[in-house]
Amino acid sequence: MKNLKKFFIFLILFSSLKMGYAQNYDESKVGEYLLPELLITENGQTVSTPEQWEKIRRPEILKLFEDHVYGQIPKDFDDIKFKVIKQDKKAMDGKATLKEVAITVTRNRKSVTMNLLMFTPNKVKKPVPMFLVINHRGIKTMDVTRQNKDGFWPAEEVIEAGYGISGFDVIDVSPDDKVKFTEGILDQLYPEQIKMDNGMRGLGAWGWGAARAIDYFEKDKSVDATKIISVGHSRGGKSSLWFGAQDKRVAITVSNESGNSGAALSRRNFGETVDRITTNFPYWFCPNYRQYAGNEDKLPVDQHMLIALIVPRAVYVASAAEDLWADPKGQYLGLKKAQPVFNLYGLETNLPPEMPDVNEQIIRPHMGFHNREGKHNMTPYDWQQFIRFADVYFDRK
């Protein structure tokens, strides 16, 4: 009997402890939070010009994300080779050209090969802007035979709009798996990163893969490599943002429902938390990130600063109304709180204080947002919005 009583007391204590970390979906319980300063340098200097931002504050913030959240994305290797292993100039009933490219990267005499899949439209004269998807949903979503048409990668619609569409399966660079994530570029090319507290992990490795895809596009005359649009959904969206922040060759960075550790503010206590994400997916982040579980206020950054790193290149944030786990409002605020950096460049963004209505797109220089009706997914509706935004940004229509 005594033991039973003890057990119940333990149970109550344990569950209230857990409550501290439990998910909140009640707007009235979000509470107050103070974001780190975007435009004050570590020396206390106020940033008021793009030059100060680029020379001082941007590198400081980039390093903070590297050291505390995602880890590095190494840039060095000894050799890169591209081999077009398949080409079909009459794909999609003659509307597009399909290419499958094997990209082999060598460092310290070890190599990794990733496969890039791409379609470019045939009825165009100029090189085309290219959508590049960091794809964690598997190769089946990018069926090159087009027998299986998946709304996650709606190649026909993108080709019809005059853009190229491409993607690679993240498994080629770093499997999306707690145990196997090193079985790719980490084991083969960058083993020293595994031991580092700010070493590359899953999300950074996928970004590394996207960078190698752009290395290829720079050599392919059918692609306008100055107009690359990096796209990722959810975990892919987190990676797309981190990659877009690093690699200035990305013209538009799209984050679709990237949520926690993506576009959503971490200090806003709503939906997924740093504790949940680092418990379930520790291998996405550098080991240092875990210390901020239940301790978000101590983070030296918040996610609006990640978005700000991309400016003045364009950023598009998409969310879905029923995807509360990813905190649509927190994602909107992530974009909104990055505004001071857009403004530094003379870009008058003026986002309204509240999120726009569901299915209402907002386009500003150089940012866009929508909150689609429905659940967590990337759909043809989302793609239509990305295309509309790209048309405006690239001045195509």
CA distance 189 to 272: 33
Q: Identify which of 187, 267, 250 has the alpha carbon closest to the alpha carbon of residue 24.
A: 267
Q: Which is nearer to ligand GTR, 150 or 156 (CB)?
A: 150
Angstrom distance (rounded) from CA 301 to CA 265: 10
From the list 174, 234, 239, 266, the catalytic residue is: 234
Q: Tokens in use for 261?
A: 């550790």
For this structure, is 234 an active site residue?
yes
* Shortest spacing between CB 32 and ligand GTR, in angstroms: 24
- Straight-line distance from the first to the last Cα atom of the chain, in angstroms, rounded to the nearest whole number: 77
Question: Could you tell me the smallest distance in angstroms from the CB atom of residue 110 to ligand GTR?
Answer: 29
**Which residue number, 223 or 274, has a Cβ lying nearer to ligand GTR?**
274
Smallest gap from Cβ 280 to ligand GTR, in A, equals: 6
Closest-CB residue for ligand GTR? 234
3-state secondary structure of 68: helix
Would you say 45 or 280 has its CB closer to ligand GTR? 280
Instruction: Pick the closest to residue 265 from 229, 233, 308 (CA basis).
Output: 308
Q: Identify whether 376 is a catalytic site residue.
A: yes
Name the residue nearer to ligand GTR (CB basis): 166 or 278: 278
CB of 260 to ligand GTR, least distance (A): 5
Which tokens sit at 304?
């609006």
Q: From the CB of 286, what's the least distance to ligand GTR, in Å?
A: 16
Contacts 24+ apart (CB under 8 A), 34-41: 34/267, 34/297, 35/265, 35/267, 35/302, 35/304, 35/337, 36/299, 36/300, 36/301, 36/302, 36/305, 38/304, 38/305, 38/308, 38/337, 38/338, 38/340, 38/341, 39/340, 39/341, 39/344
Between 58 and 235, name the residue whose CB sits nearer to ligand GTR: 235
Q: Which residues bind to ligand GTR, rule: CB under 6 A?
A: 234-235, 259-260, 272, 277, 280
Catalytically active residues are 234, 376
